Amino acid sequence: MAASHHAHDDEHPKFLAHHFDTPEQQFDTAKFGMWVFIVTEILMFGGLFVAYGIYKSEDPHLFHRAHLELNRIMGAVNTVVLLFSSLTAALAVRSSQLGKKDQTTMWLVITILCACVFLVVKYFEYTAKLEHGFLPGRCFGHPWFGDHCTDRTAATAHPIPVHHLPSRANVFFALYFMMTGLHGVHVLVGMGILIWVTRRNLRGDFSKEYFTPVEIGALYWHLVDLVWIYLFPLLYLVG
Amino acid sequence: MSDTTHDNHDGKVHAHISSWRFLVAIFFTLIFLTFVTVQVSYYDFGSFNTVVALVVATIKASLVSLFFMHLRYDKWFNGFIFVMAFVFLGIFLLLTSDDIFTRGQIDYVNGRTRLERSGAIAPGALEPDPETPHEQAGHGASSAGTHSQTSEHH
């Protein structure tokens, strides 16, 4: 990096780790590492997307019937919430780059609140799915809550299924719960990261010269948004 | 291409700062595309449904990565490794599909060398053994399998 030759050795800011020559080198290294991490995340979700593609093409009609049971209004609301939170995350980075600490805090808090809204909507979706007997496994076809399924004898406790999807539709809902569940875990982790970034921002760690954690945290949050951008149409819209 | 590195030799971070108007414009474009993809899903294009949904999703993902994630202003190499993730995902999908959807077309263990539907010799299959006359065009691959198995046990 050419910059190192021009660095002022006497100026060694507090935020600059000793193994980096310049703030620029530190910033670029952090971003590069984050992008590599994003690649591993994409490939982790990729396994599920490939499974989805294979099973869908083996029985498209079944997937179509099963996906009609998902609430696409709730899915669309959550899409808008996540897109908005991505905007606020980008605005938080911008405020941080401009050294506006209070604005950064505001945008970060709004982003975290959006994450909460997303999880609340997801909670209602999951509850409805469990009540309507879509939890894959032995209880498939039978409501999960109540006096049944606790002893794993759903069929005897509730002989009449609450929906008429064939048991093969298990596959769709297994993928639905795995994909949205793994994504939900990422939302939780993202919230944790954003809370940590907010705390550091309140502590006054960041400035025009050093905003790397805000940038990296936002990158993680955008990744959560990216995954959902594909999950929403594939699960809720086209099945 | 890269605002971060060009002509800055002072070692400080020179990241691109987007205007808030621009970021809000990107957001509304994303909302518009979401609206489009939901509306489109009420029409049936047959097998193109998934293609349409994926194309719209990819446009949205590109907007998020280019502008919200600053790839547009970033070092080219970061964008390169990001794209490579999708290249390798494509290889993953391609080879997995190739395996799963061609199983049973060629299966020497069960004596299958012909395509299940047309009865033609499967691509890459060895020439059918002339001493197993049962395996002919028109025969189902499964019946061909049982026949050649019995002939093996003569």
Higher pLDDT, A231 or A21: A231
So what's the pLDDT on residue A143? 76
So what's the pLDDT on residue B4? 46
pLDDT confidence of B31, banded at 50, 70, 90? very high
Question: For the ranges A149-153, A222-226, A231-235, B18-22, which has the lowest average pLDDT?
Answer: A149-153
Query: Which 87-106 residues of chain B touch chain A by CB within 8 A?
Result: 88-89, 92-93, 96-97, 100-101
So what's the pLDDT on residue A139? 75
So what's the pLDDT on residue A83? 97
The whole-chain average pLDDT of chain A stands at 89
So what's the pLDDT on residue A11? 64
Q: How far, in Å, are A30, A212, B23 from residue B70 at the CA level?
A: 14, 13, 11
Contact: B56, A233; criterion CB under 8 Å: yes
Q: What is the DSSP string of B36-48?
A: HHHHHTTS--TTH
The ipTM, to two decimals, is: 0.87
* Rounded-to-integer distance, Cα A150 and Cα A139, Å: 9
In angstroms, the separation between the Cα of residue B127 and the nearest Cα of chain A is: 30
| Nearest Cα to Cα of residue A151 among A140, A161, A138 | A138
B59 touches chain A (CB under 8 A): no
Choose among B14, B67, B92: nearest Cβ to A50. Answer: B92
Higher pLDDT, A150 or B106: B106
Per DSSP, chain B holds a count of helices (H) and strands (E) of 4, 0
So what's the pLDDT on residue A136? 86
So what's the pLDDT on residue B7? 54
| Nearest Cα to Cα of residue A219 among B53, B79, B1 | B79
Partner residues linked to B114 by β-bridges: B121
So what's the pLDDT on residue B152? 40
pLDDT single digits (tens) A122-160: 999 999 998 888 988 777 877 776 555 555 554 555 556
Choose among B11, B50, B85: nearest Cβ to A7. Answer: B11
Contact: B81, A36; criterion CB under 8 Å: yes
Strongest mean pLDDT among A12-21, A130-139, B73-82: B73-82
- Is pLDDT at A162 greater than 90 in this prediction? no
pLDDT single digits (tens) B123-135: 666 665 555 544 4
Choose among A7, A39, A218: nearest Cβ to B85. Answer: A39
pLDDT single digits (tens) A71-109: 999 999 999 999 999 999 999 999 999 999 999 999 999
* Rounded-to-integer distance, Cα B42 and Cα A64, Å: 13
- Is pLDDT at A69 greater than 70 in this prediction? yes
Which two structure tokens, joined as six digits, stand for A205? 């760690």
Q: What is the DSSP string of A68-125?
A: TTS-HHHHHHHHHHHHHHHHHHHHHHHHHHTT-HHHHHHHHHHHHHHHHHHHHHHHHH
Higher pLDDT, B107 or A214: A214
| Nearest Cα to Cα of residue A194 among A81, A65, A88, A56 | A88
So what's the pLDDT on residue B124? 62
pLDDT single digits (tens) A28-60: 999 999 999 999 999 999 999 999 999 998 888
So what's the pLDDT on residue A150? 54
So what's the pLDDT on residue A148? 55
Strongest mean pLDDT among A174-183, B40-49, B93-102: A174-183
Contact: B81, A76; criterion CB under 8 Å: no
